[in-house]
Amino acid sequence: MTESGSPRVIGWKVASLSESVASVRYRAMLPLLGLEKAGFRCRVFSDANSVRLDDLDMLVIVKCFGADDLALVQTAVAHGVPVVLDLCDNIFIPKYGTSHALGHVRTSPAKLFLAMARLCDSIVVSTEPLAEVLRKRLDARIAVHVISDGLESPGLLKQMRSRLSAALKEQKKHQTTMSRLRTIRQRVRRVLGQLRSMRGQAVVSLAGRVVRRLAREMRWQRFSKRPKEAPHRMPVTTSPNVTAQRKALVVDPDVKRVLWFGNHGEPYAKFGILDLLEIREALETLAKELKVELVVVSNNLEKYERHIKPLAITSSYLEWDPESLLHQLSLASVVVVPNSQDEFSICKSANRTISALQAGVPVVATATPALGALKECIETDNFLGGLRLYLTDKARADSDVAKGRDIIAREFGQAAITTAWVKVIDRALLAEAPPPPDGEMVVALNLAQDLDMALPIIVSALQQGVSVVACCNAELLKKSPRSIELLQKEPVSLWVLPKDFSPGHPFEFPPSAKMLLTTAESNLGPHRFTRNLTDAANRKNLLTATLQHGFENIGLTYDDEFHAADKIDFAAQRIYLWGGLETLHPKVSGVTRQKCVPMGCPKPARVPKADLGDLLQPFKTVIGVFENLHWTRYSDDYRTFFLQGVEALAQRFPDVLFLIKPHHAGKWLTTRYEGATPSATNILVADPHSALWEPYTAPSLMGHLHAVITSPSTVALDGARQNLPVAVVSHQMNLQNYEPLFLIRAATDWEQFVRNVLSPESRGGLVEHGKNFLRGKLLPEGADLRIVQDLLECSSLQHGAQH
């Protein structure tokens, strides 16, 4: 109870509001229901962005390790809400969780979990082996508590289903409301943009229409009757008809049923259905001696049919759901729980053994630490002998089950679980909150390409004794695992904000912050995250600065029919250019021009060569083909010219590998283009969606290349800085800014460029063109240090003026 006498409110963040997820049932809902009986109030949700922290006394994060979860933990701690993490799997084994991403990019759950753990006083785990895994990785001040999985029952399952259904309905309602509010804000921003370019009566007319439309929106939002939602049925498994499966199974009373149930398994560890192969000999021997049937309740029919059905024992398969499992337990003669005892499986809890004993079924299992309390009432490490015993000696089976139920009531019942959780909650509520991230320089990272620009500046700042906080968009950490890995190699405080961060978010700059640096900031939509941060920093009287983030930087060095240079503005007080002021577009506004400071490009000219193993074998010559971020600026004719040119090159030069590198953020060729893409045995696409290619940006690949072909982009500059022959696909575009690089204007130019690359005499000329191209475009190396020094000098002057 709080000092006012009202009950404590505990929030439970889970991965899914579904009863089919074991961690939701065992690690969240069972403790939640017990705590409510003890007088606590609890709320459960799966959307990190829908949490109302002001209503909570404590937050529990259950087996969630996303970027949004890290942002939630940081926000909670910053506002005095203690956080406890609950974990039931050894997530530190190699490749944990990769199968969920289908081979695509996924930030390491272990890295995100450890980042969250550093902000907590207590971690709760399901077994002692898992506790030891964590203690080796965590600071000694963080307490690791072992609270076993609890005991399910039909009554508790019914309560869980009701609570989860209600929580899902409430969460959907909140998400719908927020979506409508975002739509309204987007309309307001769009109209404000139109208003900036209009005058007189047109403004009055448009403003009147906007006010009337928004009034209708808000009235509808508050008072409209929404259609009633269909009753929510919790998703269970992939099985379309569990009831039909049950009816199809004819239960022969003379047949002894050996039951195995659980998750089918994952590639990153040896557990699941394939554990039955560990006891194959025992099962097949038993089938020769007794009339038995193996029943498998799981969630992968294909794996059962491939690996288990061929065993020399009669068997059947049922798709898992809570009721199906309870029904099969009521029919079972014995349950088997084999365990491979690898570093993942050894950390597993006793929940299957507990469920079986409580249902009145004896258990034969592999001895694991989690089963220590039950060792007197189960048979361990002797599957054939244990099966024979329980299937032929009913008195012994009944006796062991009775012992097991007594132990379960004492050690694993709801009262025991609740008592253990109350102790954890009391400790967490009394614990001193960890200090918030602190640093003089806050660096905002919004898009995948931002870190390439910002990291050299961060490193230089650290070398100058400047403390740094990296403030990241949560979406960046989801899409770019390399970002968190690179940042965690440096002594940098990491702070995560939701992708829709806005002025209403309860973010506070560190007390010692003096400056904010963004890599890309403007009034354009893609920069809204950094614009909002810059506005917030300006209100705090911090020094704000941003960078020219590309050779062609909209609003600085070029404009187009969609974005006029004089209509783009920057909230930052300083804008660091790669070259001199003469590189600015003629239409850049006077206000923007006054903010610009020539500094140079902070990216190093050369970066370490990516270790690609044998991916590029057996080709001796590799030419990189790069797409731009801003493909909307190109016509369909240009895109066709680009793609057809690449395919023609592949056919004309079969001994050359053409490595296509889509932009890390744009991904036009891999996700947005719906037509036919270039295809040949000597074309390789470095898809940023793939975990194999995501770590490698354009500069890191260039050590493997003999030449570069690119759409108009910074890649042309990167290639020239690495002394590579560079061609820019021009087609009908006017690209005077890229001269004297080789410009591909006609279809014949594609082949001519590659022939020049392959000719030692002509190749030297192409490299020389690159050197000439760079002259006047970039200031000398060392921009990262110059930027840090300028930030320090200007922030010192600004801070002194304020005092």
What's the start-to-end Cα distance of the chain, in Å? 46
Neighbours of 604 (CB within 10 A): 15
Decide which of 406 and 525 is more confident: 406
Contact 544, 515 (CB under 8 A): yes
Which pLDDT tens digit goes with each residue over 288-330?
Answer: 999 999 999 999 999 999 999 999 999 999 998 877 888 999 9
Percent of residues, the chain, with pLDDT higher than 90: 60
Tokens representing 291?
């009339």
- Compute the C-alpha angle 442/447/448, nearest 5°: 110
Confidence of residue 505 (pLDDT cuts 50, 70, 90): confident
Which pLDDT tens digit goes with each residue over 436-446?
Answer: 778 999 999 99
pLDDT at 262: 93
- Tell me, what DSSP letter sits at residue 777? T
pLDDT at 171: 86
- Positive or negative, the Cα torsion across 613, 616, 619, 621? negative
Q: How far apart are CA 121 and CA 77, in angstroms?
A: 11
* Cis amide leading into 618 (omega within 30): yes
Question: Mean pLDDT, the chain, as a whole number?
Answer: 86
Q: Which residue has the tokens 């990153």?
A: 268
Decide which of 676 and 150 is more confident: 150
Cβ-based neighbours of 654, under 8 Å, separated by 6 or more: 680, 681, 682
Neighbours of 613 (CB within 10 A): 8
Confidence of residue 668 (pLDDT cuts 50, 70, 90): low
Q: Which residue has the tokens 């003089």?
A: 440
Report the range of poorest mean pLDDT among 268-277, 667-676, 764-773.
667-676
**Cα 545 to Cα 57, 671, 766, 802, distances in angstroms:** 38, 33, 36, 18
In the predicted model, what is the mean pLDDT of residues 449-471?
A: 94
pLDDT at 567: 86
The strand ranges marked E within 150-280 are 256-261
Q: How far apart are CA 417 and CA 275, in angstroms?
A: 29
Contact 291, 256 (CB under 8 A): yes
Q: How far apart are CA 49 and CA 171, in angstroms?
A: 10
Q: Say yes or no to pLDDT of 557 above 60.
A: yes
In the predicted model, what is the mean pLDDT of residues 611-620?
A: 83
Which pLDDT tens digit goes with each residue over 19-32?
Answer: 889 999 999 999 99
pLDDT at 188: 61
Residues 710-731: b if buried by 16+ CB within 10 A, e if exposed: bbbbbbbbbbbbbebbbbbbbb
Classify domain 621-774 at the CATH topology level: Rossmann fold (3.40.50)
**763: helix, coil or strand?**
helix
| CB-count burial class (<10 Å; 0-12, 13-18, 19+) for 680 | middle
pLDDT at 222: 32
pLDDT at 103: 41
pLDDT at 182: 57
pLDDT at 101: 39
Q: How far apart are CA 76 and CA 52, in angstroms?
A: 10
Confidence of residue 239 (pLDDT cuts 50, 70, 90): very low
Contact 324, 355 (CB under 8 A): no
Q: Say yes or no to pLDDT of 199 above 60.
A: no
Q: How far apart are CA 274 and CA 307, in angstroms?
A: 7
pLDDT at 412: 93
Of 350, 344, 337, 340, residue with least CA distance to 269 = 344
pLDDT at 674: 56
Distance from chain centroid for Cα 797: 40
In the predicted model, what is the mean pLDDT of residues 239-247?
A: 42
pLDDT at 275: 95
pLDDT at 50: 78
**Cα 787 to Cα 541, 598, 766, 796, distances in angstroms:** 19, 10, 32, 14
Which CATH architecture fits 248-405?
Answer: 3-Layer(aba) Sandwich (3.40)
Residue 181 backbone zone (phi > 0: left; psi -120 to 50: alpha; other: beta): alpha
In the predicted model, what is the mean pLDDT of residues 712-736?
A: 93
Of 627, 711, 729, residue with least CA distance to 672 = 627
Q: How far apart are CA 721 and CA 713, in angstroms?
A: 14
| CB-count burial class (<10 Å; 0-12, 13-18, 19+) for 574 | buried
Which pLDDT tens digit goes with each residue over 387-402?
Answer: 999 999 999 999 999 9
Distance from chain centroid for Cα 592: 36
Decide which of 225 and 448 is more confident: 448
pLDDT at 102: 37
Confidence of residue 174 (pLDDT cuts 50, 70, 90): low
In the predicted model, what is the mean pLDDT of residues 33-62?
A: 92
Q: Which residue has the tokens 């939630």?
A: 72
Q: Say yes or no to pLDDT of 116 above 50.
A: yes
Tokens representing 639?
């895109």
Q: How far apart are CA 120 and CA 427, in angstroms?
A: 11
| CB-count burial class (<10 Å; 0-12, 13-18, 19+) for 677 | middle
In the predicted model, what is the mean pLDDT of residues 15-43?
A: 94
Domain ranges across the chain: 9-151, 156-223, 248-405, 441-598, 621-774
pLDDT at 740: 96
The amino acid present at 436, given as its one-letter code, is P
**Cα 210 to Cα 214, 221, 572, distances in angstroms:** 6, 16, 30
Tokens representing 361?
């079924």
- Tell me, what DSSP letter sits at residue 558? B
In the predicted model, what is the mean pLDDT of residues 789-799?
A: 90
pLDDT at 48: 85
Confidence of residue 276 (pLDDT cuts 50, 70, 90): very high
pLDDT at 483: 83
Q: What is the CATH code of the structural domain delimited by 9-151? A: 3.40.50.2000
Neighbours of 739 (CB within 10 A): 13
The pTM of this model reads 0.78
Report the range of poorest mean pLDDT among 4-13, 96-105, 108-117, 692-701.
96-105
In the predicted model, what is the mean pLDDT of residues 630-655?
A: 86
The strand ranges marked E within 1-99 are 9-13, 41-45, 58-62, 83-87
In the predicted model, what is the mean pLDDT of residues 544-558?
A: 92
In the predicted model, what is the mean pLDDT of residues 90-108?
A: 66
Decide which of 141 and 181 is more confident: 141
- Tell me, what DSSP letter sits at residue 230? P
- Positive or negative, the Cα torsion across 663, 664, 665, 671? positive
pLDDT at 676: 64
Tokens representing 134?
């964590």
Distance from chain centroid for Cα 23: 19
Q: Which residue has the tokens 């012994």?
A: 396
Q: Say yes or no to pLDDT of 333 above 60.
A: yes
Q: How far apart are CA 125 and CA 63, in angstroms?
A: 10
Decide which of 187 and 470 is more confident: 470
pLDDT at 181: 59
Q: Which residue has the tokens 């600004």?
A: 798
Which pLDDT tens digit goes with each residue over 350-398?
Answer: 999 999 999 999 999 999 999 999 999 999 999 999 999 999 999 999 9
Q: How far apart are CA 68 and CA 65, in angstroms?
A: 8
Contact 529, 501 (CB under 8 A): yes
* Cis amide leading into 740 (omega within 30): yes
Q: How far apart are CA 439 and CA 324, in angstroms?
A: 55
The amino acid present at 476, given as its one-letter code, is L
Contact 35, 42 (CB under 8 A): yes
Cβ-based neighbours of 533, under 8 Å, separated by 6 or more: 444, 471, 497, 501, 516, 518
Percent of residues, the chain, with pLDDT higher than 70: 85
Which CATH architecture fits 441-598?
Answer: 3-Layer(aba) Sandwich (3.40)
Of 172, 799, 256, 195, residue with least CA distance to 543 = 799
pLDDT at 729: 95
pLDDT at 79: 84
Q: Say yes or no to pLDDT of 277 above 80.
A: yes
pLDDT at 538: 95
Report the range of poorest mean pLDDT among 187-201, 266-280, 550-564, 629-643.
187-201
